[in-house]
Every structure is written in C-alpha cells, then in structure tokens.
Structure 1
Amino acid sequence: FGLSRSVAVSVEDFEAYYKKQRADSNCGFAEEFEDLKVVGTAQSKLHALNVENKPKNRYNNVLPDSSRVKLSILHGSPSDDYINANYMPGYNSRKEFIAAQGPLPTTVNDFWRMIWEKNVQTLVMLTRCNEQGRVKCEQYWSSGTKRCDNIIVKATSEITLEDWTLRDFDIKNVKTAETRAVRQFHFTAWPDHGVPETTELLISFRHLVREHMNQYSRHSPTVVHCAGVGRTGTFIAIDRLIFQIERENTVDVFGIVHDLRMHRPLMVQTEYVFLNQCALDIIRSRTGTNVDLIYQNTAAIYENI
C-alpha cells in the first residue's frame, strides 16, 4: 500500500499551496487528512492483543505492530518482550525515534528497561501527567532515587522554564554496575486536544532537543511520548520537515505523516493543519524574519543555566 498521493511542494510554491488548502475552513487539508485515515490500520496487532499484553496498552486503538520495540525476555515468558512502542523513521535513519505511549503504573519498569536496552540518552515528553482531571501518563520518575527492577533511576537536576522543563537522570544497571546519563525534555505548553499557541514555541523546542540528539544520540534512538500518538507524531514530523526544507527544498507533510502511520497507526491527529503552518513559518524564518532570534535566546537560556 504505497502513497495514495505524495503532496510534495517546492519551498518556493508552498505559501501559495498553503493558502489554497486553507481556503473554505481548511477544506484542502481536510481532504488530505481524510486520505490518511486508513493508512497503517490494517496491520496485524497479534502481540498487542495477546491476553498477557492487553493490560499494557493505555488505549485499545493505539497498538504497535511490525515495527514494535522488543525488549529482552526477563522471566522466561514470551510476553516479557512487549511494550507499547514502535521504532519510527526520522530524516536520518529508519530507527531514529521510538514512539511510545505514556507509561502506565504497571509498565514504568518496562519503560526504563527499554531506555536501558536501547541505549536511549534523549527522552522527549509532550504531555503533562494529568490534564483536565485525567491521568495521561504515570509519573515515571521521582525527585530522588527510584528502583525499577534492575535499573536505579536517580534524578540529578531539574530546570523549570515557562514552556518546558529539563530533567537529568543517572540510570544504573544493578547487574553490571554501569551508569548512563539521560536527559528528559518535557514540553508543558501543549493544551490537551489542541495545538501549542505558536509554531515558534514547538520549533524552538525541537531545536533544543535536536542539539542534544546530535551530540548524544547519533547511534541510538530518541524516545518520544505523549499519552498516545498525536503530539508524538507531530514532534517527529516537525523534526523531519525541518530537514526536508533545509536539505531538499521541498515540503511533504502528507508523505511524512503517511510514513509515520505505516509504523504506528493514528500518528498525528488534530495537528495536521498546524504542521503545515509550521512548515510555512519555518520557510518564512529562513527568509530572515524573527524566529532565528528565538533560537538564539533558547540557546542562551540554556548556557546561562
């Protein structure tokens, strides 16, 4: 099942295309998004629906399939290898990211085991633990030390800024005594079932994360999670979009979302138009408007701390 249609537009033509698709209450974008509805939904969910694994899923429609992340088998049970997470293609490699659900109380240990086994050093969280009175994600860290099976997670620093929080952890494998550093980038300004107030906010956050990835995660995946799929897909899509614009001089939001959905169904939800808006703002910022200043400020805040 290939692309029903790629919607690759050159950077020069994108503004005109965007205006056309936005007309009549986003009619054009709504049609594109409709074409994406079934993409990736036909894949087998055998492991996800296994009786022992079912309780490990937060939502019964967000289930990993062929690109699922497999953990080691701990207690001799085949279901030990299951976690609700998929390898996701980034711009630079086909396993550049892992998209995961927000851990449940019963899957926190598996989550840290995945971070250890896949040598993850960059962790991106795009939801608050509780939103509008509903639990979206179990808080999988504590201010001190937390033991998760054979992994000890120790919080070493926390910096709270207006729109995101940065946390550093040392994680230690009890069996081998090896310790590694993991940085969590927690974006806190994303309203539930909505989109961030400005595209610049998320674009700046992406630059911050990408800087860390380039330094520490070139050879291991970056874990991205929200509660389920929408924001995670959006973040990964923005990262790919920026590379696409910079390196290929084209924009293909449809093609990127299609590719993501072939790896994890339902990636990108209410944010489809927002992604196109991001592309437009990225293009405008390259022609010298104000976004570059925001990036510099972000870097400065970071160094001052």
Structure 2
Amino acid sequence: VGIAQSKNAALAIENKKKNRDSNVLPYDASRVKLSVCGSPFYDYINASYVPGYKSREEFIATQCPLPTTVDEFWRMIWEKNIYTIVMLNKSLCNFLQVMKCEKYWPSGTNNYHNISVTTTSETELENWIIRDFEIKNVKTEETRNICQFHFTEWPDYGIPTATEVLIEFRGLVRKHMDHSGVATGVFIAIDHLIFQIERDSMVDVYGIVTDMQMHRPLMVQTEEQYSYLHQCAYDIIRSRTGTNMDLIYQNAAAPQIYENTEYLKQQ
C-alpha cells in the first residue's frame, strides 16, 4: 500500500547516507521536515508523520538513529516539540552483534550540535525501561523534560509472545502523552484500535494499517504482525465482555481472530 508515492528527498544523493535501510524511506508527502539553515538538504531526516486516532500527525515514526544522524534526531525532537519517545528495539545490537541502533542518549550529559541532553533518571522494570532526559537549547537556554519508554520484550524477529504486555505498555505511554505533549507500526496501530474500541465501539484493523502505510513504508511489515493486531483487538474486546459486545468488527462477519496464517498454523 502506498509504495508508488514519490520519495525524491530520501533518494537524493546528498541524503542517501542518512538512511539506515533502503526499503524504509519517507514519502515526500508525509516526511518530517526540519528547519533549513544553509543547504536545502539540511531539512532531511528519515522520519514520517503517521496518523493516530486523534489527529493526522499524531505520531512521528523514525528510523533508529545512525552515528551520523543523532544530531538530526535531537534537532527533530526539539523543533517538533516532542515530549515522549518510544523505543521498541529490545537492544542496540541484534543476535549477531550487529549494530541496529546507535545509542542516541548519554549516560550523563552530551551535546548534539545545539541541543544538550542530560539523562536525569533511568528506571529498569521487567518489560521496559523508563528514562528521563533534560534537553536544553544551548542558543536560547530554554530547557524541556523528555521521557523515553524503552520496550525490552520485543524479540529481534517476530512479535511479543503475549498481547497483554504491549497493551499495558501502550497505556503507560498514552498516559504520559496525554499529560505532556508523541512512537512505529504495531504500537501506533494498537494505540489507534484501542481508541476505536473504547470510543467508537468498532474496530477496523485493515483501515488503520492501510492509512498508516500511506504515510510510511512497512509500518506493519508481516502477516504475523497483522494477525497479532487482530489478537490484541480480540483480547481487548473480550476483556470488556458485558459492556462492548455490540462492537462492530469491520474485518469479518463476526468478532473472531484471523487464524489462517502459516505462523499460527505452526503454533
């Protein structure tokens, strides 16, 4: 879905080195643009606006920073007034010890061009880590407080073994977002479908995923992930038995989980 859209900025020779993966490039129509200072290519970062339940630009989905793009990452955090960062990589390296994400936050204080970042606290829990940052614009002296929610139960390949842990994690993140001020595919889709269930008494997983993929490639990458979203919706609906059983399920004739994937057959 959406793959025919133009990606001219991402494919520009000056910007190619800023992309981690050649198959996940932001579309021109929905890419995040940074302020321009000097070169017109200074505005590029591999990041896209993604719609949520509340607005068409509720989330920004971005690649894991490269060593050469950490400065742009923090510039985006500052310029777009982001107060909530969601990290879904379990670790910085995969099982082959290949770096898949640069450690973009400091142990103490570090300057990323004009943005100073200080890690003020780190709380490690069973399924996630919560880090608090104080960031400062060294030019204006303005400071802000940012919270990072690092989900550590997503395997390198596949999906979490249960739905409850990610649903609980989403609730924690949403609580912070609603009190302060904004995350990738499956997580954003879960946030959206929970709002649909709670507020509209319906759920349209297909519509949510299609809308997201019109804004950024590979937002939900596999059939396994797509099925997992249906399982999440099913578990949420089931947990509300007696209150929302008249819910309209728009992907099938009845509110039942989609089960004919090879993954689920093997299970």
TM over 0.5: yes
Q: 1:200 aligns with which of 164, 170, 174?
A: 164
For the residues of structure 1 that align with 2:108 and 2:20, how far apart are their CA atoms?
26
**Within 5 Å, which residues of 2 pair with 1:108-257?**
108-127=70-89, 128-132=91-95, 133-217=97-181, 222=182, 224=183, 232-257=184-209
For the residues of structure 1 that align with 2:123 and 2:81, how far apart are their CA atoms?
23
For the residues of structure 2 that align with 1:204 and 1:269, how far apart are their CA atoms?
22
Alpha-carbon displacement from aligned partner over 1:180-224 (angstroms, at most 9, x marks no partner): 00000000110012111110000000000000001001xxxx1x2
Q: 1:94 aligns with which of 56, 61, 64?
A: 56
- Give the 4+ runs in structure 1 shifted more than 4 A: none
For the residues of structure 2 that align with 1:267 and 1:69, how far apart are their CA atoms?
16
Alpha-carbon displacement from aligned partner over 1:14-55 (angstroms, at most 9, x marks no partner): xxxxxxxxxxxxxxxxxxxxxxxxx11000010000001000
Count of residue correspondences = 237
1:85 corresponding residue in structure 2: 47
Amino acid at match of 1:274: Y
Alpha-carbon displacement from aligned partner over 1:69-101 (angstroms, at most 9, x marks no partner): 000113x00110000000110100111100000
1:269 corresponding residue in structure 2: 221
Range with greater deviation from structure 2 (98-107 or 245-254): 245-254
Question: Are 1:258 and 2:210 counterparts?
Answer: yes
For the residues of structure 2 that align with 1:50 and 1:283, how far apart are their CA atoms?
46
Alpha-carbon displacement from aligned partner over 1:263-286 (angstroms, at most 9, x marks no partner): 002111131100000000010111
**Within 5 Å, which residues of 2 pair with 1:274-293?**
274-287=228-241
For the residues of structure 2 that align with 1:186 and 1:286, how far apart are their CA atoms?
28
Q: Which structure carries more relative contact order (alpha carbon 8 Å, separation 6+)?
A: 1
1:248 shift after superposition: 1.3
Q: 2:31 aligns with which of 52, 68, 72?
A: 68
Partner SS for 2:118: strand
Partner SS for 1:135: coil
Taking only the aligned residue pairs, the percentage that are identical comes to 65
The TM-score with structure 2 as length reference comes to 0.87
Partner SS for 1:184: strand
Q: Structure 2: state its 5+ residue gaps.
A: 243-267
Partner SS for 1:53: helix
Amino acid at match of 1:67: S
Amino acid at match of 1:70: K
1:142 shift after superposition: 1.4
Partner SS for 1:153: strand
Partner SS for 1:93: coil
Partner SS for 1:102: coil
For the residues of structure 1 that align with 2:241 and 2:151, how far apart are their CA atoms?
27
